[in-house]
Structure 1
């Protein structure tokens, strides 16, 4: 039976600390969850496994994973050098209905207000069941980090409003990037074109760049 949702930050952090040092295979057995061959088709599997153990209650609802605590869970695959191996997905970006939207009221700011980061071994030559879970970190953006995120968000949202969504590349943004997020190229959504007309384009997601998450982990774990 899945653990009930934690009732405090301390209880959540304690649970996460208890997972540190265990392998994904061990945790899967405890949860009665089968381990996929690899993560190519099951990208969210590691996160779902840890959500189960930690008692996350949000499911697929657009709220933080631990809604009663306002805390989002983010697993982060780590290489042998202790650095993140890939960017971190935060949330889907809004492409229409943007009038009056501000950073303060944005979904992404809400998602990043309080994050439980759980590093997990991610090198491809380590079989998935043998990968270890690392020590967790409960984080809120510093004033400087929030300013970086806000600047990037405002720049990217300005481009979307001006009908330049198709011109945005992963190079835009200092710590935040916007890139297509869709299971296939037929999953199109509405956006603004250059003249303000509606166009069809791939959904976009906000991702944290690896140097941002690497600096965050370094600062807290002094790797």
Structure 2
């Protein structure tokens, strides 16, 4: 593991250093095995990039580069330069929501400053041959933050009102709430419709692909 970068510029320099390299080249340097595919190793690419950039937080609630206040997000891109999947932000809180506001939410904290690292994501490219793309550092514009906040507040209101089971992936313009668990057996507590505690699958906040595509378009077109 590389040491944690001491400045945003140092982090960006490291990200530029690995741009254009294949996963095989990066894995070799990190003494990691390249899995055959990502079916059982969904987090492998993220861990590989984290190793090269010196991220420290792992899966903790704070940002990946806590001292710098920057979150790392790898984003699989297709041949047309568009994101191939939604981007996981953080696990959604389903209990103990008193006093929780957008200002002190994990979603806002995680997205306040993001290092996006695009990666080739087309399935037919063998994993070892996929390359890392050009990085960018991003913070939400006032309009992007307004969109995020509006979705977050609507989704959290449904959770508070005991309507967690009614939330579908169709809710939210840019932010959606979806089950987040390795399997359907993992359950957690949430508020039910009558105020009673129910068991439900853990949920996660995800950024829709059109939102992340707009970020990439604005950056790479400028």
Q: Same fold (TM over 0.5)?
A: yes
Unaligned segments of structure 1, at least 5 residues: none
Segments of 4+ moved more than 3 angstroms: none
- What is the rounded CA distance, in whole Å, between the counterparts of 2:155 and 2:96 in structure 1? 15
What pairs with 1:1-223 in structure 2 (closer than 5 Å)?
2-222=1-221
Q: 1:101 offset after TM fit, Å? A: 0.6
- What is the rounded CA distance, in whole Å, between the counterparts of 1:166 and 1:16 in structure 2? 40
TM-score of the superposed pair, with normalisation by structure 2: 0.99
Aligned CA RMSD, in angstroms, stands at: 0.9
SS in 2 for 1:163: coil
Unaligned segments of structure 2, at least 5 residues: none
Deviations 1:98-126 (A, max 9, x none): 11110000011000010000000000000
Aligned residues between the structures: 222
- What is the rounded CA distance, in whole Å, between the counterparts of 1:83 and 1:164 in structure 2? 33
- What is the rounded CA distance, in whole Å, between the counterparts of 1:61 and 1:157 in structure 2? 21
SS in 2 for 1:171: coil
- What is the rounded CA distance, in whole Å, between the counterparts of 1:43 and 1:199 in structure 2? 29
Deviations 1:36-91 (A, max 9, x none): 11111111111100000001111232211111101000000000000000000000
